[in-house]
Amino acid sequence: MASLAEELAGIDRLLADAMGSSGAVRFAGDGELLDVVQALGRVLRRVEGAVVAVTERIVARDQCERDGRFSTRAGCRDAAEVLRRTLLVDGATARRFVTAAGAVHREVDITSGGLLPGKFPGLAAALAEGFLSLGGFLACTGPLQKAVRIGVADRLAADTVLARFACGLPLDGSGDDTDDTTAAVERAPLPTTDELAALAAHIVARLDPDGAEPSDRAGKRRRHFTIGKLRDGSVPVRGELLPEVAAQLQKLIDSLLNPKTGDEGSGSAVRFRPSDDTGDGERGEDDHEHGGDGDRDGSAAKYSTGSAEYGAEEVSDRADGLEPHKATSPPVESADLRTHAQKRHDAFATALMVAAASGGMPTLGGAAPTLVVSVTAEDFAHRTGRATVEGAGYDVPLGAADNAGCAGGIQRVLFDENGAIVAISTSARLFNATQRRAIVLRDRECLIPGCHIPAEWCEIHHVQEHARGGPTHTSNGAPLCWHHHRTLDEGNWRIRIRNGLPEIRGPGWWDPYARWRSPHLDYQAVDDALDHTRNTARAREPAQEREPTWNTR
């Protein structure tokens, strides 16, 4: 009796004979060509199902000590590397097979020794029988696995419906009693992967209408913006944007594509003005170019850290009041752990905010392209639920809404549970043009040491948050770049204003003594100290040992 490997080798030879020794496809006409493609699709799905089944065995045999693992004995690091080297596929494809193998895996009953039902029995059967491709299987199982609030019974019900749809059977189950192997079964056209993904999304929304609260952790990790090299007269751009950044970009694009370009003679070009050129009259408190205020409602109080002006309490186990830092910290040169692509994304976000607040963009709907983030008053008060980016329809965490409220050209609208407007944010909390220029002149650049983003491009942060009585005054404002403004609540850096000047206290790797320090280098003090040191050293030298001073004139 031939082994499985020998039988598969025979199938390989049959396929090679059918395709021709030279690899040329033989077909009589268009009809046969279509039949060939469909047959190859069935073969491909069968092969993908077989690879998933084999991968599941490899992963199962790797659940032991390293020396006894199958992948180790094969000279590979893990199952994905085994697939990369044997199937000659890339890493992403290998990992997709491993993910699918995890979804079809069946545990062993420790009592009877038999196999327990899998997570997705119907979809696993459809994959093994060649009705479902690898992509279609992952499109169905992925959303269900991510929806952690869906129970086992609901997940199995979704699996049954999706499997019927994938196999072309009636969704009501009327064809379940029929032997699927007979030709009498009338199947609907098999759905594409996109159709399966759409149905899976609908089922997940139906089973869990509220959905999980949006999280920005994965989005922050994946965000990037890459500009490629010039190629055939164009430069490719790739990336993933955070939802509020993408929505702001869409607003700018909409304003440029809008047939009504706004001011007479402006056309559709972007016009930039100096910060003190207010165009048609002084913008005053409505001026929020480059980001407006830096108020961080509900998150910045802990950074108002016991200064003489504000006296906010800090809770810490340390005697010096600083929260304990991790024992192992990155060196100073590794303080900014963003990748180059993430830095470009943040720079692009800054450019979008600057452009939106510059006053030079064409109007949209009779006003400047304004990003509106809506949130119910109850959610905003209790810090629960989610916010929505108007127009784009993105669900974003409340933290993203807070950050969006700090950026230029953004208006925050609060709704109650019935949808009635409770309040519209006013411009009274925004630093006006005169205040911004004074803060820019004082601080020059982003307040975080090592960050040299010009203050003109920064957002102005309320050191004591506006919602807790922090004044919109130069004694309560500090410039922070787009990135550091949105990561300030991670607790690595703290800011206070003392005697009208900003001070910072950084993480343990930056300052193990956890002292408040000025973010600005006092060049005059440096010069004075240098002169004092040199003069002291000269005074200690014997007169005869001093080097002569040459007059070079």
Mean pLDDT of the 148-159 span: 88
Residue 264 and residue 251: Cα distance in Å, rounded? Answer: 21
Q: Six-digit token pair at 35?
A: 């039949």
- Cβ–Cβ < 8 Å for 504, 449: yes
Highest mean pLDDT among 137-141, 312-316, 331-335: 137-141
- Cβ–Cβ < 8 Å for 223, 242: yes
Residue 285's CB is within 10 A of a number of other CB atoms, namely: 18
Instruction: Please name every residue paired with 115 in a beta bridge, in sequence order, or none if there are none.
Output: 108
Mean of the per-residue pLDDT values for the chain? 74
Reduced 3-state DSSP string for 360-372: CCCCECCECCCEE
Q: What pairing do the DSSP bridges indicate for beta strands 371-376 and 410-415?
A: parallel
Lowest pLDDT segment from 102-106, 279-283, 320-324, 513-517: 279-283
Q: Six-digit token pair at 202?
A: 């609908």
Residue indicated by tokens 């993904």: 197
Instruction: Please name every residue paired with 150 in a beta bridge, in sequence order, or none if there are none.
Output: none
Q: What pairing do the DSSP bridges indicate for beta strands 501-505 and 387-389?
A: unpaired
Residue 251 and residue 410: Cα distance in Å, rounded? Answer: 11
Residue 324 and residue 511: Cα distance in Å, rounded? Answer: 13
Which amino acid, residue 164? R
* Helix, strand, coil % in the chain, rounded to nearest 5: 45, 10, 45
Residue 238 burial by CB count (10 A; 0-12/13-18/19+): exposed, middle or buried? exposed
Query: Is a pLDDT exceeding 80 seen at residue 157?
Result: yes
Alpha helices in 169-236 (DSSP H): 193-207, 217-222
Please state the pTM of the whole predicted model: 0.49
Q: What is the pLDDT of residues 483-526, one digit of tens each?
A: 888 888 777 889 999 888 999 988 877 787 788 988 877 667 77
* SS3 of residue 98 by DSSP: helix
Who contacts 158 (Cβ-Cβ below 8 Å, separation ≥6)? 144, 150, 200, 203, 204, 207
Residue 130's CB is within 10 A of a number of other CB atoms, namely: 19
Residue 54 and residue 104: Cα distance in Å, rounded? Answer: 11
Which amino acid, residue 86? T
H/E stretch holding 162: helix 152-167
Q: How far is CA 337 from CA 222, 343, 413, in A?
A: 13, 10, 34
The share of the chain scoring above pLDDT 90, in percent, equals: 20
| Higher per-residue pLDDT: 200 or 508 | 200
Lowest pLDDT segment from 261-270, 445-454, 538-547: 261-270
Lowest pLDDT segment from 100-104, 355-359, 441-445, 468-472: 355-359
Lowest pLDDT segment from 33-42, 49-58, 351-360, 490-499: 351-360
Who contacts 374 (Cβ-Cβ below 8 Å, separation ≥6)? 387, 388, 390, 413, 414, 415
H/E stretch holding 357: helix 340-357
Query: Is a pLDDT exceeding 50 seen at residue 297?
Result: no
What pLDDT does 41 receive?
Answer: 92
Polymer length in residues for the chain: 553
Residue 53 and residue 134: Cα distance in Å, rounded? Answer: 11
State the pLDDT confidence band at 188, using cuts at 50, 70 and 90: confident
Residue of 429, 422, 387 lying closest to 406 (CA atoms): 429
Q: What is the pLDDT of residues 416-453, one digit of tens each?
A: 777 788 777 654 567 788 888 899 889 988 888 877 78
- Cβ–Cβ < 8 Å for 258, 326: no
Q: What is the pLDDT of residues 391-409, one digit of tens each?
A: 666 777 777 666 655 544 4
- Cβ–Cβ < 8 Å for 53, 124: no
Lowest pLDDT segment from 458-467, 493-502, 525-534: 525-534
Mean pLDDT of the 62-82 span: 90
- Cβ–Cβ < 8 Å for 132, 126: yes
